[in-house]
Amino acid sequence: MLSNMSSIITLPANGLSGPEFTTGDLKVFAVLTVFAVLFTLEALWGYRQQPAKMIRRSYLTNLGTFLLNDTLMSLLSVSSLLMLAERFGHWGLLHSMEDSIGKTLLPFFLLDLTLYLWHRVNHRFAWLWMFHKVHHSDRSMNVTTAFRLHLVEVLLTTVIKGIFIVVVGVSTAIVLVNELVITLFVMFHHANLSFKGESEFGRLLIMPSLHRVHHSSVREEHDKNFGAVFSCWDRLFGSWAELEPQEIGLSNVEALSFMELLKFGFSFNYPSTAPLPGLPALNAMIAEAAYYRAEKRGFASGYEFCDWLEAEKEILARFRGVHRSRQNKPNGWRIFMPPASLARGAV
């Protein structure tokens, strides 16, 4: 049955030829229908109460991003993936596997794992986070946030999916089904919703409550729950977290317009970490260490992101070392004053 999904579907009516719908049309219809349902549920029973102005700004910016991506990238990405599947889908690792339910489902599980790993990589490397932070900059997480993606990230993700199709060996029909299911899940887990039994479902699938953690303004929290569909990957690789974030988005970034968002994706000038709660002195030390790192290179632009991360890593390592020594010497408590070399970010 799946092998026929890439063909044109004709719907006859009273013996006359009806309109012809491609599977692409059906995908668009399914996405728009689910989007409308989630959008309505958010409007009526939204979980996190947010200022109306913030929500409207989020909707306008995200829908603008969606229209740009859809116009410039979606047709290109889907057609290129289908072309790869048609030409190389029978070359991959699964090409010799007999047709079965397993051959249909296995590519979906493997793709979900691939997207999980790709998502983690986007948080790990500065040049990828530069584009991915556009997605995290929404202060009002809702169903439209699913489409808040920078053009470069959309392009790179398409390349990753293309490599996956060739290596694994995925047919055009399965590519279409996978793209549809993952798109619907991504919209769902970005929705500003909560429902009974969500925690139980979250043991298998990524629920809105789990993905809200991933959009927390605190780095230790937004580096959790990377899954797209299944939550088992986060459990397996130690990135699982179940909590309620205090703030959504990037704490150092205010609401952005569509053009500001596009420009923001090409800027390194953003420290990826929100201030550590309850530790203002530590935050000041990190900021000072980052300042002196920048001073050493004459405040050359483009390094602010790396300076902040390196300073944070250094200060936190020293802080944890002092904390452990205090635990080993209960009578040795004293006010922690960092040496001058540490305060100035010396290595």
What's the whole-number mean pLDDT along residues 314-327?
59
- For residue 321, what pLDDT band results from cuts at 50, 70 and 90? low
Which residues on neighbouring strands pair with residue 37, listed in sequence order? Answer: none
Whether residue 103 contacts residue 92, with contact meaning beta carbons closer than 8 Å, is answered with no
Q: Which amino acid is at 341?
A: S
pLDDT of res. 8: 33
- For residue 338, what pLDDT band results from cuts at 50, 70 and 90? very low
- For residue 143, what pLDDT band results from cuts at 50, 70 and 90? very high
In the chain, where does DSSP find H-type helix? 23-45, 52-69, 75-88, 101-124, 126-136, 151-164, 172-190, 198-201, 208-214, 219-222, 232-236, 258-264, 280-296, 304-328, 340-343
Q: Pick the more confident residue, 220 or 319.
A: 220
**pLDDT of residue 9 exceeding 60:** no
Across the chain, what does the average pLDDT equal?
A: 78
**pLDDT of residue 343 exceeding 90:** no
User: Which residue is listed with tokens 């929705």?
Assistant: 191
pLDDT of res. 272: 44
Report residue 295 as tokens.
Answer: 């001073």
List of residues 6+ apart from 222 with CB closer than 8 A = 123, 136, 213, 214, 215, 216
Q: Pick the more confident residue, 75 or 69.
A: 69
Single out the residue of 134, 191, 151 nearest to residue 69, CA to CA: 151
User: Which residue is listed with tokens 């296995």?
Assistant: 106
From CA 81, how far away is CA 84, in angstroms rounded? 5
Single out the residue of 179, 180, 175, 5 nearest to residue 92, CA to CA: 175
**pLDDT of residue 125 exceeding 50:** yes
From CA 195, how far away is CA 238, in angstroms rounded? 26
pLDDT of res. 303: 63
Instruction: Please give the DSSP secondary-structure letter assigned to residue 142.
Output: S
Q: Is the pTM of this model over 0.85?
A: no
From CA 129, how far away is CA 311, in angstroms rounded? 18
**pLDDT of residue 301 exceeding 50:** yes
* Window from 3-17, 99-113, 141-155 with minimum mean pLDDT: 3-17
Q: Pick the more confident residue, 33 or 312.
A: 33
